[in-house]
């Protein structure tokens, strides 16, 4: 019961209202994967409708995935304009804060480190509030080298513009010890200002279970097993 809460729960757009009701009053945010997640294979009107539906249902955050086909074909302006359009769809007309936009690159498909850095700058210039490595649905997801590149891009973008952007490595981070290495990387690259859930997140679907077992070990001196903590 004393374990800190997650920053957000992430659901598909049709489940936003259900999640919103479930976490009401807890301070936990509701994020929604939109824009034809995880493939990104849909026309822009469909992606915008997907986003608008999630925002209208109460999503605090939208996770969009870029069109990797357009990016890898060199159609950078198309990707930029799509991100700006989704960012606009995150706006609310009722006075409530706009939904934050997390832009997913699917770095395992971007082929080169240069492409990862290029995608990072493109997304930040287009208005991303967070840049995120992966959907967690492909063979290669977050890795330390790719995350370091994104952290350095965020550092350089902040130095050039004064705008702070968050970073989220997702997929493939399964142990608490691995997560600590990422936190050291954030501290050494960006500093204490990014060491909060407002500016740095993990995709914790697998990580959370190991973290709970590690906390139980610290409390009891013994590791729990899958009978006590769900390992899925």
Among all residues, which ones are annotated catalytic?
63, 132, 168
Q: What six digits make up the tokens of 103?
A: 């832009």
Task: Give residue 60's Cα distance to chain centre.
Answer: 13
Tell me how crowded residue 128 is: count the other CB atoms within 10 A of its CB. 24
Helix H or strand E encompassing 129 = none
What's the CA gap between 73 and 22, in Å, rounded? 42
Under 8 Å between Cβ of 54 and 92: no
Under 8 Å between Cβ of 167 and 130: yes
């Amino acid at each position: 019961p004393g374990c800190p809460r997650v920053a957000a729960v992430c659901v598909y757009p049709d489940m936003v209202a259900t999640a919103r009701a479930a976490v009401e009053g807890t301070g936990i945010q509701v994020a929604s994967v939109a824009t034809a997640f995880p493939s990104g294979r849909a026309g822009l009107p469909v992606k915008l409708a997907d986003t608008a539906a999630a925002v209208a249902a109460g999503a605090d955050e939208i996770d969009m995935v870029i069109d990797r086909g357009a990016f890898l074909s060199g159609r950078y302006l198309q990707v930029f304009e799509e991100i700006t359009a989704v960012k606009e769809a995150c706006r609310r007309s009722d006075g409530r804060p706009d939904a934050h936009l997390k832009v997913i690159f699917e770095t395992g498909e971007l082929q080169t480190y240069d492409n990862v850095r290029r995608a990072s700058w493109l997304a930040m210039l287009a208005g991303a509030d967070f840049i995120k490595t992966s959907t967690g649905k492909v063979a290669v997801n977050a890795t330390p080298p790719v995350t370091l590149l994104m952290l350095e891009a965020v550092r350089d973008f902040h130095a050039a513009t004064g705008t702070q952007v968050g970073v989220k490595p997702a997929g493939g981070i399964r142990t608490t010890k691995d997560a600590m290495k990422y936190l050291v990387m954030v501290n050494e690259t960006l500093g204490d200002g990014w060491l909060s859930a407002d500016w740095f997140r993990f995709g914790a679907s697998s990580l959370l279970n190991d973290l709970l077992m590690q906390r139980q070990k610290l409390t009891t001196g013994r590791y729990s097993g899958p009978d006590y903590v769900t390992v899925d």
